[in-house]
Structure 1
Amino acid sequence: MKSKPPSAFPGIDDLSVSLVVYHPDSALLERTLASFGVAWDAVREKRPGARARLDLVDNGGLPNLASYVDALEARGIVCETLSGHGNVGYGRGHNLAIERANSRYHLILNPDIDMDREALAQAIDFLDRHEELGLLTPCIVDDEHRQQFLSRRYPALLDLFVRGFLPARYRKIFGHRLARYEMRDVINGHDIVWDPPIVSGCFMLFRTEVLKRLSGFDPRYFLYFEDYDLSLRTHDLARIAYVPFVRAIHHGGGAARKGSAHIRMFMTSAFKFYNRFGWKWL
């Protein structure tokens, strides 16, 4: 029998990844999968026996990705599609994969993220060096490579309304308070920031043991605020770090730009969030 190369962490995968889709933009999803494959190559260069698993969670409308999945499997990544459950929401979709995860680290990933080639290798190295760290968040930039400030302080309702729904020309009036909410006084492209209160769900690299102790996302959120909730609960078990040399591009947009249905979901989830963690108006 031909022997298999040993994993860096025998008996478990080094990395598991969950990616939830609902009628995604096919081009962006394909770029995400391609960038993940390239980033995994960089991991394997440092850890020749490393193993990874990707669960594509189909909440509806998953396109044919056979060629991209074949390319990932050629890189030694085990790929599986979870389907047939319907549109159960973002958090519950990820939980289907998190429950199955048998890994050292688990990446919660959006289908509109392009990772830098070294992003995963650097992130895993950082987690290895800091045993107290349970969740790592990267430096995220937009399509024009401008930094997105996705680490947040606890939001007041006014902050959410101004950031999410006011036209840009009116948001300038509230520039100072938005800058504080978005932690612009400490978040930048070169300084590590420990324990930001809230981080974005578009790229959350967890120590899997911590994520499982948290039971993943709270299933009461269908969409929006599930990452705020999970961030705040993570602080009870482990530290969080913003690590700027781990970099990715995010092609996403806000709720107000996605139509009235998303606005309603945003407001419903905000109500659940504040009922759980406390209301803050101004």
Structure 2
Amino acid sequence: MDEIGRAVAQVQESFADASIILVDNSPEVSNIPIFNNNQVKVIRSGANIGYGSGHNLAFAESQESDYHAVLNTDLTYGSQVLPALLKFMDARPDVGLVMPRVCYPDGSIQHLCRLLPHPLDVFGRGFMAGTRWVERRNDAYEFRDWDYASEKEFPFLSGCFMVLRRSVVAEVGGFDERFFMYGEDVDLSRRINRRHRTIFFPHVTVYHEYRSQSGGFRRKISKIINLSRYFNKWGWIKDRERDQVNTWTIDHVFKK
């Protein structure tokens, strides 16, 4: 529970008057720390309802706010990060979603600016990882030949750290609750990108432990099921919008 306390403290250090919502998806009552102020509200769903569904409970509590940040608890960042992102959003009313530069604890970049996925990207990474063909596709999918050093627009930004314009969340309807875990962030990012800018902001950095890479067989099955739901929704091999958006994004990122 030290991680939850740290997560709350980081937000409070960024904004003394921030409204903080913790969603507890544990089937049984867990030992979430008691916070001695009115800033922190704990919502207990009573069941493991999934990542997106849990965050939708938090969205419902933040309707009076201008912005809503979706933050994993395994993040470390300085007090200047959130203010810088909100200042950027204030200056850019066309932006619905912004994500900062995200690094591993050792300082190496996490390649979380991505194209809209093709089934070959997803299932190649899952079942043919390490092959030259998959590595080439993955390099393009995650923009590993780009320096992650400038503001650019991407159709898929990671759900580990999202700052969202609250009116845009209401407009697109929040997370699609058909996705229990995996697929929910690309789906939300894609729906926002249809109507608003979705921007990578490299001028502040957060550090993310990225434990979701582990988890074994059950996690892999969950990933397959939920990403299959994503492709059932948007299209598998045939997805004209994906192809058009990805072509534009590649040109936009590497334009000199």
Q: TM-score, normalising length from structure 2?
A: 0.84
State yes or no: 1:197 paired with 2:155. yes
One of 242, 245, 267 as aligned partner of 2:203: 245
Could you tell me how far 1:219 is from its partner in structure 2?
A: 0.8
Is 1:57 matched with 2:23? yes
Give, in whole Å, the separation in 1 of the partners of 2:200 and 2:115. 13
Amino acid paired to 1:267? I
What is the number of residues matched between the two proteins? 235
Deviations 1:131-155 (A, max 9, x none): 1011001110012111101111022
Equivalent in the alignment of 2:54: 93
When the two chains are superposed, the root-mean-square deviation of aligned CA atoms in Å is 2.1
SS at match of 1:36: helix
Pair 84,105 (structure 1): closer, same or farther in 2 beyond 3 Å: closer
Query: In structure 2, what is the Cα distance between the partners aligned to 1:147 and 1:166?
Result: 23
**CA displacement, residues 47-106 of structure 1 (integer Å, 9 cap, x when unaligned):** xxxx4211111101643322xx33xx4xxx711111143211110111011012110000
| Counterparts of 2:45 and 2:116, CA distance in 1 | 36
1:278 is matched with which residue? Answer: 235
C-alpha separation in 1, matches of 2:3 and 2:134: 32
Aligned equivalent of 1:137: 99
Alignment of 1:1-282 (within 5 A): 26-40=1-15, 51-60=17-26, 62-66=30-34, 69-70=35-36, 73=37, 78-101=39-62, 102-164=64-126, 170=130, 174-186=134-146, 188=148, 190-194=149-153, 196-255=154-213, 257-280=214-237
Report SS of the residue matched to 1:247.
strand
Structure 2 spans left out of the alignment, 5+ residues = 239-256
SS at match of 2:76: strand
Structure 1 portions without partners, runs of 5+:
1-25, 42-50
SS for the counterpart of 1:270 is helix
User: 2: CA distance between counterparts of 1:29 and 1:165?
Assistant: 34
Cα 1:123–1:165 shift into 2, 3 Å? farther
**Kept after mapping to 2: 8 A contact 1:163/1:171:** no
- State the 1:260 CA deviation: 1.6
Distance 1:106 1:219 in 2: 18
Query: Which range is displaced more, 31-40 or 203-212?
Result: 31-40
Output the CA distance in 1 between the equivalents of 2:192 and 2:45: 30
Change in 2 beyond 3 A, CA 1:261/1:143: same
The alignment partner of 1:155 has SS state of coil
Native 8 Å contact 2:112 2:158 kept in 1: yes
Deviations 1:156-179 (A, max 9, x none): 223223434556xx2566332211
How many Å separate the matches in 1 of 2:141 and 2:97? Answer: 20
CA distance in 2, matches of 1:162, 1:40: 42
Query: 2: distance between equivalents of 1:62 and 1:236?
Result: 39
3-state SS, counterpart of residue 103 of structure 1: coil
Q: Over residues 177-215 of structure 1, what are the superposed CA-to-partner deviations in whole Å (9 max), with x where a residue is unaligned?
A: 211100234451x31112x01111111100000011111
Q: Is the 1:32–1:115 contact (alpha carbons within 8 Å) kept by the matching residues of 2?
A: no
Identity %: 30
Secondary structure, aligned partner of 1:52: coil
Contact kept in structure 1, 2:21 and 2:58, CA below 8 Å? yes
8 Å Cα contact 1:200/1:228 also seen in 2: yes
**Other structure's SS at 1:134 match:** strand
Distance 1:84 1:173 in 2: 43
Q: TM-score, normalised by structure 1?
A: 0.77
